[in-house]
Structure 1
């Protein structure tokens, strides 16, 4: 099995945000939660718990976004 990009989830104080996702994305989140549980040896988390870490990971690795942030702050 390949290593997933998302590691164990950090428990952090949440901010409530409501979004609508296509059913296919929800199914993929459920499948990802199962794969993550299998890889880490833990229990599967609820799909909504994956959204924030996935977005954070995406923004962290987006070079264009990082460049824009540096330009805006400096």
Structure 2
């Protein structure tokens, strides 16, 4: 394994739902390069389609505005 660190760590096992989306060719190329680097870093062969859900999950987990909104809606209203 390489000493390199990626923001996306080893992938957990999870159930999944199929989702199809379109992206620019340049983004697909970047995703493929990231998948190659990930595979090299963690000695685990993965393709970009496998990484995308985990990347989106990491992005949303780091989005403070999304977390704040989600937390606010999950909390019960204050009682007077």
Output the TM-score relative to the length of structure 2.
0.82
Q: How many residues align?
A: 73
> What 5-or-longer segments of structure 2 have no aligned partner?
76-80
Pick which of 57-66 and 8-17 moved more.
8-17
Cα separation, 1, equivalents of 2:13 and 2:31: 18
Cα separation, 2, equivalents of 1:39 and 1:60: 23
- Equivalent residue for 2:38, pick from 32, 36, 55: 36
User: Residues 1-74 of structure 1: matches in 2 within 5 Å?
Assistant: 2-43=4-45, 45-74=46-75
Q: Which has the higher helix share?
A: 1
State whether residues 4 and 41 of structure 2, in contact with CA within 8 Å, keep that contact through their aligned partners in structure 1: no
Question: What's the CA shift for 1:11?
Answer: 2.3
Cα separation, 1, equivalents of 2:74 and 2:4: 37
> What 5-or-longer segments of structure 1 have no aligned partner?
none
Output the TM-score relative to the length of structure 1.
0.88
Q: Which has the larger radius of gyration?
A: 2
Question: What's the CA shift for 1:64?
Answer: 0.9
